[in-house]
Amino acid sequence: MIIGHRLRALRERKELTQGDMEKRTGLRRFYISRVENGHTIPSLETLEKFARALEVPLYLLFYQGEEPPPLHRSSKTRLPSEELWGTSGKNARLLSVLCRHLAAMEQNDRDLLFFVARRMAARKRAGTNVRQGRTVTVAFHDPGQPPVISHERPNT
């Protein structure tokens, strides 16, 4: 098994014994031996413990090159500098409150809320403004189907 050989090579390069790894990871020495000899497949959590103990990034347990592998960035991935909404500060607290309220709602109400949110986001992406002064009527006809929405313009 490749991961076991890789762990042993990294451990020996750092001049650590299995006993040192036992102290650093909190894992038993016999378990470390079984992983290194390919008799046991460690979980991702265990691999994270090995990486921390070896003071290497997790990817090095899988990658053999000297330099980090090139990043293949798709349009949906973000760089660490691009903070996602709701990951910190006031937005994180707001997201937490929203989650609590969503959990207290019934499924039909959640479906309606998500449907309206998707429509609003689609309009924003398309660059169209939501016009004010409209009356919007939403009706559920069939529980498994999306709601029917009708727009009425005010009489002016």
Interhelix angle 44-54/18-25, rounded to 10 degrees, is 110
Distance of CA 92 to the CA centre of its chain: 15
Pick from 88, 149, 141: which is nearest to 117 by CA?
A: 149
Fold of 2-61: 434 Repressor (Amino-terminal Domain) (1.10.260)
Count of CB atoms situated within 10 Å of the CB of 107: 8
Q: Name the CA dihedral angle for 98, 104, 109, 110, rounded to a multiple of 10 degrees.
A: 50
Residue 28 token pair: 């038993």
Tell me what the mean pLDDT of segment 22-39 comes to. 93
Is residue 115 within 8 A of residue 147, CB to CB? The reply is yes
pLDDT of the residue at 63: 75
Q: Which DSSP state fits 71?
A: P
pLDDT of the residue at 37: 92
Is pLDDT above 90 for 118? no
Q: Which DSSP state fits 156?
A: -
Rg for the chain (alpha carbons), in Å? 26
Is pLDDT above 90 for 83? no
* Domain locations along the chain: 2-61, 97-128
pLDDT tens-digit profile of 100-111?
Answer: 888 888 888 888
Q: What is the pTM of this model?
A: 0.44
